[in-house]
Structure 1
Amino acid sequence: MTDAPAISVQGLTKVFGDRTVVDHFDMQVPKGAIYGFLGPNGSGKTTTIRMMCGLLTPDAGSGTCLGFDILHEQDRIKANVGYMTQKFSLYEDLTIRENLDFVARMYQVPNRRDRVRQALADLGLSERANQLAGTLSGGWKQRLALAACMIHDPALLLLDEPTAGVDPKARRDFWDEIRRLSAAGVTVLVSTHYMDEAIQCDFIAYIAYGKKLISGPAREIPAMIGLHTYQVTGPDISALEAELRQDPGVGQVARFGAVLHVSGTDRAALDAVARRHQDKGDHKWRLKEAELEEAFIYLMAGAEDNFQAVAE
């Protein structure tokens, strides 16, 4: 049983009005993994996560979360889940300590005062314990929200766009804490569209317009797609970019500052393009390992927006 996945769902579907927001979604989430859900805003990431964890009832599909049935044992799932929403949802007119004490009371945490004290220490909040939550910066609010999510020692942590609006240092500190929790056996689901956060995840699912495009170990995603990439540098890169976008041997062109990443799934065709341009001697072409960002751009370029017809 120790090797059983933390979450196993099949065929999850959710319809709001005329929109199928999640369309027959399957997923296996290993225990203790950091699992990232990537996709554009409105792609169904949050709805999917909430259905997998018993916070929202699917219209179709089945599965288990932490060994409990997502359709019939939702209360038992909720008792073992910590959920951090994108918008700060604690009481701004209460202090940090008062907020944590309130949440601990809700979950009927034993030895509540000691547990609050420990939560303050774990997240570096002890010196600010008596500060009103409404006066905190984005990074400190984030720490408080995470402390509140973990006050009842959940086995599963849900993070919905957790670092939106916080500074880079706060984001790094936050991810250090997430990795510590994962190492301790907590399963973490993260909804994000930041690529620098995606690389922090053990596994990734790309979701677009209600459908899962691909899922698997983060480091294996580009290879699963079969994507190959050249890094191109040299003068007048904008003109080259425009030319390459019209070349049938190129699957995609992504610009990163003064560097082009030229990718495709047909290695022979891509190599031919590279040789042709290298022979001109104007630009340097270097084959590189395709990374998550190229994979994400490639997947999104081929995704069909099935919401567009509804909106029109």
Structure 2
Amino acid sequence: MPPAVTSENLTVHRGSHPALRNISFSIPCGSITGLLGPSGSGKTTLIRAVVGVQIVTSGAITVLGHRAGSRELRGTVRYVTQNASIYDDLTITENVTYFATLYGLGDRDVRHAIKSVHLDGIPKNRLVRDLSGGQRTRVTLACALVGTPTLLVLDEPTVGLDPVLREDLWRLFHHLAENGTTILISSHVMDEARRCNHILFLRDGHLIADDTPTRIKDTTGHDDLEDAFLALANRIESEELS
């Protein structure tokens, strides 16, 4: 199958500063690709480019056979930002129904999305503002999952969550991937890299690795992915200084 996402020589500037520097990669269909790197490395900028809301300086991104941001992708690509995009004065069902309506979907799809994130046991009249932080995260995911997207893009979805909820969400992500959804998930927590099929490592706007976790460890000679990242970052820095 052709890749779900392909980037060719992508460069993005923020003012005079290059936020992304000539980046090329591909994301396999049905995979969980981890976009890893420290804060300020360019992860959110790259994600915004993939979903078509980032002005790029040069290069191009193709998503599911179309230019990123194309009208044809509106029903198949879902983007979950770091900040919850839900309405506090609505219930869980009302929130998910609102997004389902945007995609022309019905009650059955709403119920399925809510059940998939294990929120079906919460009273139907409870407002989102009365939910816990973890439950709000699940509502946001339910809104993105309604109708089962082909590509799900998640920007730091597990930040601030307790270990039990993080583990539960990763089980959900793997279930989605096993059923054909391609997932691009950003994180600055290197521990989450081991949960991914494919890894993109960013450092200061540079793509320093584009491979599987196993091959990255083999290439660097490190069993720990954080040590592997540091080795790759130091190698790039040495090349820049030489």
Question: Normalising TM by the smaller chain, what interval?
Answer: over 0.9
Instruction: Tell me how far apart the structure 2 counterparts of residues 210 and 13 of structure 1 sit (CA, whole Å).
Output: 9
* More deviation, 154-163/135-144: 135-144
1:125 to 106, 119, 123: 119
Partner of 1:29: 27
Q: Which amino acid aligns with 1:115?
A: D
Alignment of 1:56-205 (within 5 A): 56-70=54-68, 74-109=70-105, 112-128=106-122, 129-205=124-200
Identity over aligned pairs, percent: 37
SS at match of 1:293: helix
* Alpha-carbon distance, 1:303 to partner: 5.2
* More deviation, 82-91/200-209: 82-91
Partner of 2:201: 206
The 8 Å contact of residues 23 and 211 in structure 1, kept in 2 or not, is answered as: yes
Partner of 2:219: 224
The Cα RMSD (Å) is 1.5
**Number of paired residues?**
236
SS at match of 2:83: coil
What runs of 5+ residues in structure 2 fail to find an aligned partner? 238-242
* Alpha-carbon distance, 1:194 to partner: 1.2
For CA contacts below 8 A with separation 6 or more, give which structure has more relative contact order: 2
The 8 Å contact of residues 97 and 110 in structure 2, kept in 1 or not, is answered as: yes
Instruction: Tell me how far apart the structure 2 counterparts of residues 205 and 69 of structure 1 sit (CA, whole Å).
Output: 21
Q: What's the CA shift string for 1:37-78, capped at 9, x where partnerless?
A: 1111111111112212323242210231111123xx622223
The 8 Å contact of residues 208 and 303 in structure 1, kept in 2 or not, is answered as: no
Instruction: Tell me how far apart the structure 1 counterparts of residues 214 and 134 of structure 2 sit (CA, whole Å).
Output: 29
The 8 Å contact of residues 29 and 182 in structure 2, kept in 1 or not, is answered as: yes
Q: Which amino acid aligns with 2:141?
A: L
The 8 Å contact of residues 54 and 65 in structure 1, kept in 2 or not, is answered as: no
Q: What's the CA shift string for 1:55-104, capped at 9, x where partnerless?
A: 3242210231111123xx62222331111111112111111111001111
* Alpha-carbon distance, 1:301 to partner: 4.1
TM-score by length of 1: 0.72
Q: What's the CA shift string for 1:241-298, capped at 9, x where partnerless?
A: xxxxxxxxxxxxxxxxxxxxxxxxxxxxxxxxxxxxxxxxxxxxxxxxx221211222
The 8 Å contact of residues 34 and 201 in structure 1, kept in 2 or not, is answered as: yes
Q: What's the CA shift string for 1:202-244, capped at 9, x where partnerless?
A: 010110111101110111102223x25xxxxxxxxxxxxxxxx
Greater C-alpha Rg = 1
Q: What's the CA shift string for 1:154-211, capped at 9, x where partnerless?
A: 1000010010111110000000000000000100001001122111000101101111
* Alpha-carbon distance, 1:302 to partner: 4.8
What runs of 5+ residues in structure 1 fail to find an aligned partner? 229-289, 305-312
